[in-house]
Amino acid sequence: MRVTGTGHASMRIDTPAGSILCDPWVNPAYFASWFPFPDNSQLDWAALGDVDYLYVSHLHRDHFDAAHLKRYVSKRATVLLPAFPTSEMEDELRELGFTQFLKAPNEEVVDLGGGLKVMIQALTSPTDGPIGDSSLWVEHDGVRLLNQNDARPTDLSVFTELGHVHAHMLQFSGAIWYPMVYELPNAAKTAFGKQKRDRQFDRTWRYIDDLKADHVFPIAGPPCFLDDTLWQFNDIHGDEGNIFPDQSVFLDEYAKVGGTNGVVLLPGSVAEVTADGCQTTHPVPVAEFFANKVAHLEEMRERKQPIIAAEKASWRHPEVDVLGEMQRRIEPLLNESIYLAKGVGGPVRFDLVDVDDAGTETVESIVVDFPGKQVRPYADEKVRYRFRTERALIEHLLHIGEVDWVNSLFLSCRFSAARIGQYNEFVYAFFKCLSQERLQYAEGWYDEHERAVDAEDITLGDWVVQRRCPHLKADLSRFGIVADDQLTCQLHGWRFDLASGRCLTSVGHKIRAERADEQTPAPVVETTTT
Q: How many chain residues are in contact with ligand FES, going by CB under 6 A?
A: 8
Report d(CA 351, CA 378) in Å as an integer.
9
Which CB atom, from 56 or from 511, has the smaller least distance to ligand FES?
511
Which of 196-204, 272-280, 434-442, 465-473 is the region at the interface with ligand FES (rule: CB under 6 A)? 465-473
Smallest gap from Cβ 453 to ligand FES, in A, equals 18
Which CB atom, from 270 or from 458, has the smaller least distance to ligand FES?
458
Smallest gap from Cβ 202 to ligand FES, in A, equals 12
Closest CA to 84 of 471, 405, 437: 437
Smallest gap from Cβ 469 to ligand FES, in A, equals 3
Smallest gap from Cβ 514 to ligand FES, in A, equals 19
Alpha carbons within 13 angstroms on the beta-carbon side of residue 229 total 15
Per-residue x/- marks for ligand FES, 478-517, CB under 6 A?
Answer: -----------x-xx-x-----------------------
Smallest gap from Cβ 495 to ligand FES, in A, equals 9
The alpha carbon dihedral of 511, 515, 516, 520 has a sign of: negative
Chosen residue from 56, 320, 469, 482 binding ligand FES by CB under 6 A: 469
Smallest gap from Cβ 155 to ligand FES, in A, equals 11
**What 3-state class would DSSP assign to 85?**
coil
Smallest gap from Cβ 529 to ligand FES, in A, equals 41
- In this structure, the strands spanning 100-103 and 78-81 are parallel
Which CB atom, from 435 or from 506, has the smaller least distance to ligand FES?
506
Report d(CA 261, CA 333) in Å as an integer.
49
413 binds ligand FES (CB under 6 A): no
472 binds ligand FES (CB under 6 A): yes
Closest CA to 56 of 107, 22, 92: 22
Per-residue x/- marks for ligand FES, 87-126, CB under 6 A?
Answer: ----------------------------------------
H or E, element range at 93: helix 88-95
Which CB atom, from 375 or from 491, has the smaller least distance to ligand FES?
491
Which of 28-36, 53-61, 356-364, 466-474 is the region at the interface with ligand FES (rule: CB under 6 A)? 466-474
Closest CA to 203 of 461, 489, 486: 489
Cβ atoms of residues 170 and 220 within 8 Å: yes
Smallest gap from Cβ 154 to ligand FES, in A, equals 7
Closest CA to 168 of 153, 185, 180, 179: 153
Which of 423-431, 456-464, 470-478, 510-518 is the region at the interface with ligand FES (rule: CB under 6 A)? 470-478
156 binds ligand FES (CB under 6 A): no
Which CB atom, from 360 or from 500, has the smaller least distance to ligand FES?
500
Which CB atom, from 128 or from 235, has the smaller least distance to ligand FES?
128
Which CB atom, from 217 or from 496, has the smaller least distance to ligand FES?
496
Chosen residue from 394, 409, 474, 513 binding ligand FES by CB under 6 A: 474
Report d(CA 80, CA 346) in Å as an integer.
41
Smallest gap from Cβ 525 to ligand FES, in A, equals 32
Strand partners, 102: 80
What is the chain's Cα-based Rg?
Answer: 24
Cβ atoms of residues 351 and 430 within 8 Å: no
Chosen residue from 144, 196, 391, 471 binding ligand FES by CB under 6 A: 471
Exposure string of 76-107, with b = 16+ CB inside 10 Å and e = fewer, is: ebbbbbbbbbbebbbeebeeeebeeeeebebe
Smallest gap from Cβ 442 to ligand FES, in A, equals 17
Which of 111-119, 165-173, 404-412, 469-477 is the region at the interface with ligand FES (rule: CB under 6 A)? 469-477
Other C-beta atoms closer than 10 Å to the C-beta of 479 total 21
Smallest gap from Cβ 181 to ligand FES, in A, equals 21
Which CB atom, from 61 or from 492, has the smaller least distance to ligand FES?
492
Closest CA to 109 of 87, 130, 80, 69: 80
Which CB atom, from 90 or from 210, has the smaller least distance to ligand FES?
210
133-138 contacts, C-beta under 8 A, 24 or more apart: 133/57, 133/58, 134/57, 134/58, 134/82, 134/84, 135/57, 135/159, 136/20, 136/22, 136/55, 136/57, 136/80, 137/109, 137/162, 137/165, 138/1, 138/13, 138/15, 138/20
CA distances 400 to 82, 248, 310, 332, 396, Å, are 26, 39, 17, 19, 6
Report d(CA 243, CA 256) in Å as an integer.
18
Which CB atom, from 119 or from 469, has the smaller least distance to ligand FES?
469
Binding residues for ligand FES, per CB under 6 A?
A: 469, 471-472, 474, 489, 491-492, 494
